[in-house]
Chains A and B, each alone.
Chain A
Amino acid sequence: MSTLEVRTYGPEAKPRVGFFTDTSLCIGCKACEVACKEWNGVPAAGQSFTGDSYDNTGSLGADTWRHVAFVEQRVPLSAEDGHDLVKVAAARQLAGEADLRWLMSSDVCKHCTHAACLEVCPTGALFRTEFDTVVVQPDVCNGCGYCVPACPFGVLDRREGDGRVWKCTLCYDRLKDDREPACAQACPTNSIQFGVHSELVDRARERVGQLHERGVEGARLYLDGPGDGVGGAGAFFLLLDEPEAYGLPPDPLDPTTRLRGTWGAVAGAALAVAGGLAAAFLGGRR
């Protein structure tokens, strides 16, 4: 579907770009959050103390286009479980008696292949760019809010006091100038990698293979291929645990893929209403 949309750009179409967020490299510095705010002029989301590890950002929203998640896990490590002695000793030394594992991940709009937000948008404010990314046009959006519950990842939200919906543009303005998005440029560990989507996917598959070889069995790719309910995503991830642990849906679905059947049910109901009307006038006199 998206290739069709991009093809309408004709010679102006560009190769699909995206983010490969390798969470095994994330150190939780939040430089991506800061760079995004700075470049895109995103308003402050309010100061708060959540008490949830180092995460005081909370979640993605109208005023948060990058969100670094911090997951603290007690992972029992022992030589009896087959872990090697050096690893166990190192973990003990780092975390004391309780074996703490700290997962960090920078979340962002996924720029889905089948983007529900874009499909349901009644004004055309949400559109697919020549880079195969999904962007809201602030001069068109009238704040109807349909994309908010449509998104299977809870990315979009309406901005307080503004009334419109805002989200990551994958730095559309920078892309037009052949520059990488601000978050990717700011990332000091290359956890956020920007590039041509197909090259990123190849790189990610190689990386997950390397991690498996090194014994990181929990490493997995998320949204990297077309097999899931959103047809894969422009921004995909290498995770070290199940998606749920990071607040990501394990089985996301573009709800508009089932719209044909729903329109059928609507047509059936409309006929039933017509039947009720006929029954009212033809159904005898009392």
Chain B
Amino acid sequence: MVPAAEPRTYYGRPVLKEPVWTWEVPVYFFTGGLAGASAGLGLGASLAGNRPLARSAWAASLAGIAVSPALLVSDLGRPERFLNMLRVFKAGSPMSVGSWILAASGAAISVASAHELLGLGPPGLGRGAGAAAATLGLPLSTYTAALLTTTSIPAWHEARRELPLVFGGSALASAGAAAAITTPVRHAGPARRYGTAGGTGVP
């Protein structure tokens, strides 16, 4: 029989450093996912002519995208240097990719929401921004899984295949729920189905 392996350590100290990220980062995973998935719901409702649902979804998307950068900036060790995130683009860094997705989403969601909620701007621009926001919302609600799993923390790194789906499903569930509670019941059918799709997609 093979003797049981005895893990060896240096005075019980961890090999890796504990992440320095604080509560802002997991809260951002929620708000960013909410903003991204709500943009898709908002676009769908606008196209389907469901005005009450469109207003709710775009409001949720705007709220989510408004607080997200604030959360991330406040988590930095040097918050005043947040613009350094847009100094370079690196496909090999999920945080770099995410910063650009977040910046572009912020612009698209703001313009789309201004049009959908307040009627500001020409309709063509609003529609275009809405489509862009919904498209960018897909990576916005899922890239955060790549951010977490591209680390040396074994529990995170080993989840790299499943975690994107979990985050995407959670974003769907959040967006569906947010829209369902802020929309009259008879207009909220797609939001309920949207949220349910996300909820059942999460293993």
Contact = CB atoms under 8 A, between A and B. Distances in A.
Given A152-B152, A274-B138, A285-B189, A144 B77 contact: yes
A54 interface: no
A276 B194 contact: yes
Interface in A48-97: 50, 52, 55, 58-59, 61, 69, 71
A285 B186 CA distance: 10
B93 A286 contact: no
B171 A273 contact: yes
A40 interface: no
A155 B169 CA distance: 35
Interface string B157-171: 100111111011101
Contacts of B193: 279-280, 283
Interface in B27-70: 36-37, 40-41, 44, 47-48
24 contacts: A50-B11, A120-B151, A122-B99, A142-B76, A142-B79, A152-B15, A152-B152, A154-B15, A242-B8, A244-B8, A247-B15, A253-B152, A255-B151, A258-B150, A261-B160, A266-B143, A273-B138, A276-B194, A276-B201, A277-B41, A277-B172, A280-B41, A280-B176, A281-B47
A149 interface: yes
A228 to B, nearest CB: 14
Contacts of A244: 7-10
B150 A142 contact: no
B76 A122 contact: no
Contact of B84 (A116, A123, A155, A286): A123
B197 A123 contact: no
Closest 3 CB pairs of A and B: A143-B77, A163-B77, A247-B10
Interface of A: 50, 52, 55, 58-59, 61, 69, 71, 116, 119-125, 140-146, 148-158, 162-165, 242, 244-249, 252-253, 255-256, 258-259, 261-263, 265-266, 268-277, 279-281, 283, 285-286
B182 to A, nearest CB: 16
Contacts of A286: 189
A270 B77 contact: no
- Most chain-B Cβ atoms within 10 A of its Cβ — which of A141, A155, A156? A141
Interface stretch (B17-25, B106-114, B125-133): B17-25
Contact of A277 (B40, B76, B81, B157): B40
A265 B171 contact: no
Nearest to A253: B152
A214 to B, nearest CB: 25
Contacts of A269: 142, 145, 164-165, 167-168
Nearest to A59: B13
Given A154-B14, A244-B7, A123 B48 contact: no
A256 B190 CA distance: 38
A259 B142 contact: no
A157 B82 CA distance: 19
A272 B156 CA distance: 21
A240 B111 CA distance: 63
B96 A122 contact: yes
A267 to B, nearest CB: 8
B160 A258 contact: yes
A61 B18 CA distance: 11
B92 A259 contact: yes
Given A144-B85, A258-B157, A277-B41, 19 more contacts: A50-B11, A119-B93, A120-B93, A123-B87, A141-B77, A156-B17, A158-B20, A245-B10, A252-B152, A256-B150, A259-B94, A261-B160, A265-B161, A265-B165, A270-B168, A273-B141, A279-B197, A280-B190, A281-B48
A69 B8 CA distance: 15
Contacts of B77: 141-145, 158, 162-165
Given A247-B15, A255-B151, A272 B165 contact: yes
Given A154-B15, A157-B17, A247-B15, A163 B76 contact: yes
A192 to B, nearest CB: 19
Contacts of A144: 75-77, 85, 95
B78 A142 contact: yes
Interface in B184-203: 189-191, 193-194, 197-198, 201
B28 to A, nearest CB: 12
Given A143-B78, A164-B78, A276-B198, A268 B8 contact: no
B13 A273 contact: no
